[in-house]
A and B are shown apart, each in its own frame.
Chain A
Amino acid sequence: MPQLSMRDAINQALHQEMERDPRVIVLGEDVSGGAGGTSGQREASGGIFGVTKGLLPRFGAGRVIDTPISESAIVGAAAGAALAGLRPVAELMFADFVGVCMDQIYNQVAKFRYMFGGKSACPVVIRMAMGAGMNMGAQHSQAIYGLLTAIPGLKVVVPSNARDAKGLLIEAIRDDDPVVFFEHKALYPRKCEVPEEPFRVRFGEASLLREGADATVVAIGRMVVFAEKALDALAKEGVSCDLIDPRTTSPLDEETILESLENTGRLVVVDESPPRCSVAADIAALAAGRGFGSLKAPVVQVTAPHTPVPFSPALERAYVPGPQRIEAAIRQVLGRNR
């Protein structure tokens, strides 16, 4: 099976879905780039992270649309096109730019199907790059999937690896509901085996990445990579844990988490967002409610602090929940603190 980076896996999914379904279009800032430039080179960019490379030459400017820097118009136009029968994939470049177009997402896209009494599907996918770790500062680094997860009507996807990213994006494009698709910038170059043919990863189906008896670790997006490192370190001490990647935060696969918790009795949740009203808090509440009878110890949440993302590497390193903090949290839930 070929090894693909997450960037290339998403790119492949976009190619395959546009090939399969002429209703799929892509729009956003610099998705091809070069329009109105002086070099005459169309597709001068292929997306700021190179994720949409090759789409313009293959599918043309009618379906691969470079937009001005106008996030509200990007999302709104994608939604309108969806209401009129297309299946748009809008790109917001950085997830932080959701702030500019929140009305189109929150008051428009998310509500159509319900508010119009089920008359309208709004099959739009909104892709965006998220996450800290690249010293991009407070307005280019946030992990805001929790914010979007709180909105009824949206589905929210946060892949942790290339294979899932491909299958989840294909599912997102084929889904009749609006889907917000978060791509962690630090995961773009990371490779794994990805099937060549199109395939779907169903929403609301978590992935059980490791099995173990001592605790349940639920990690989201890039935090999965760090949780694996922490578990590798703890394995040397004979500690073994279930590692669960929910893959979609809305819908959330509650059953997989609760079943694991039944076996281990201990839960650590790792979330790159700040702690309040977060996905971590949401999963902890699940454990405190339906999972209460299984709990042998208080749930431990590993999150960013309740601050904006700092710029300086010295501070950002401390901001991002890393393997060491996860390792410490697992020790804590096991009562192994020194």
Chain B
Amino acid sequence: MELDRTKLLDAYRRMKTIREFEERLHVEIATGEIPGFTHLYAGQEAVAVGVCAELTDEDYIVSTHRGHGHCIAKGCDVTGMMKEIYGRRDGLCKGKGGSMHIADFDKGMLGANAIVGGGPPLAVGAAIACQLRRPASGEGRVSVAFGGDGSCNQGTVFEAMNLAVVLGVPTIFVFENNGYSEHTGADYAVGSKDITARSAAFGMPAERVDGSDFFAVHAAMQRAVARARSGAGPSTIEATTTRFYGHFEGDPQNYRAKGEIERQRATMDCLARFRATVAADGSIAAAELDAIDRAVLLEIDAAVSAARAAPMPSESELTTDVYISY
């Protein structure tokens, strides 16, 4: 199915929003004003947006420690996210979660997760709920489990994949293979070097796509989501991609060849590739995308200003949102 202009423009806007959000965080983190440690998603935008373009607020996703992109692609409020990352009271999780734990249940975003492999079993559970609520005729809701290449080596992920196949639930496992499990190469840590073969061995369709090509990711997601919505069960998408920054901000990245990031920025930039594709087929004029770029910059600027001006939580909130009698 072809995407109409509105959807294409929306996809570009979301990818650009993720990119600018992360590029701006990279700058702001260096000022020391942002607490904790932060894992940036820049470089992987086409995966989150290509996948989430096929989802509604009624569908679920679970995310990872590198979760800002998934949040934005799923429709989380950018200012609320920024406030959360700054640890402010009216952030999306009241400042209690932080960068690695952003959640927005109204958007079907069941939470970023700082435990590698923590999310996929949750996605299977969400899919059980989707299956139970499946209408007698027509399409059901689905869940997506985002994970990195590192997560494919966790037992929890194997268990989740097997359970999804056993139950035939509508979960789509999306492995974003950015080449590195923290400071170790995926070529070393993934024994077979082939994530799709693992998923296939559990008994589900699995395909590998170029994760810097929005259209390739989206096409694979269309196949997977059609299968899931029709009740035919889970699928896997492995998206090969890259991260433009380190595992976390401050990572010296000694494991990466000199010039690698510059090369990848030149050849694997999903925004540039999107622009090239729509220019070649004449579907969207460059000026329209330039206008989006300008609007996104203003939106991110406003989000940072709002976050910096927002109040910190008060100490009394330390013991709210939890059962406590002592």
Q: Which of A's residues lie within 8 Å of B, judged by CB?
A: 29-30, 33-41, 44-45, 48, 66-73, 96-97, 99-100, 134-140, 275-276, 305-308, 310-315, 318-319
Contacts and interface: CB of A to CB of B under 8 A. Distances in A.
A137 B188 contact: no
Contact of B36 (A44, A136, A306, A314): A136
B35 A68 contact: no
Given A36-B184, A37-B184, A70-B153, A44 B255 contact: yes
A39 B115 CA distance: 27
A34 B254 contact: yes
**A interface, over-half SS:** loop
Interface residues of B, number: 57
B184 A312 contact: no
Given A44-B183, A318-B315, A137 B255 contact: no
List the 7 closest A-B pairs by CB distance, nearest first: A36-B185, A36-B188, A311-B98, A37-B255, A312-B87, A312-B95, A135-B35
A198 to B, nearest CB: 29
B183 A45 contact: yes
A45 B247 CA distance: 12
5 contacts: A35-B189, A37-B183, A66-B189, A68-B181, A137-B114
A69 B100 contact: no
A139 B100 contact: yes
B153 A38 contact: no
**B interface, over-half SS:** loop
Interface in B288-326: 312-315, 317-319, 322, 324-326
Given A307-B318, A313-B35, A315-B95, A100 B117 contact: yes
A97 B154 CA distance: 12
B258 interface: yes
Contacts of B153: 68-70
Interface string B242-254: 0000000000011
Nearest to A67: B189
B189 A315 contact: no
B2 to A, nearest CB: 37
Contacts of A40: 257
Nearest to B37: A136
A40 B37 CA distance: 27
| Residue of A34, A138, A139, A312 with most chain B CB atoms under a 10 A cut-off | A312
Interface string B120-163: 00000000000000000000000000000011011110000000
Contact of B155 (A34, A72, A138): A72
A313 B88 CA distance: 9
Contact of B255 (A33, A100, A315): A33
B219 to A, nearest CB: 29
Nearest to B88: A312
A60 to B, nearest CB: 16
B49 interface: no
Interface in B173-206: 179-191
A66 B87 contact: no
Given A68-B181, A137-B36, A318 B255 contact: no
A29 B117 CA distance: 14
Contact of A100 (B96, B115, B317): B115
B184 A35 contact: yes
B101 A311 contact: yes
A77 to B, nearest CB: 13
B97 interface: yes
Contacts of B188: 35-37, 66
Contacts of A319: 318
A37 B180 contact: yes
Contact of A48 (B182, B254, B317, B325): B182
A318 B96 CA distance: 12
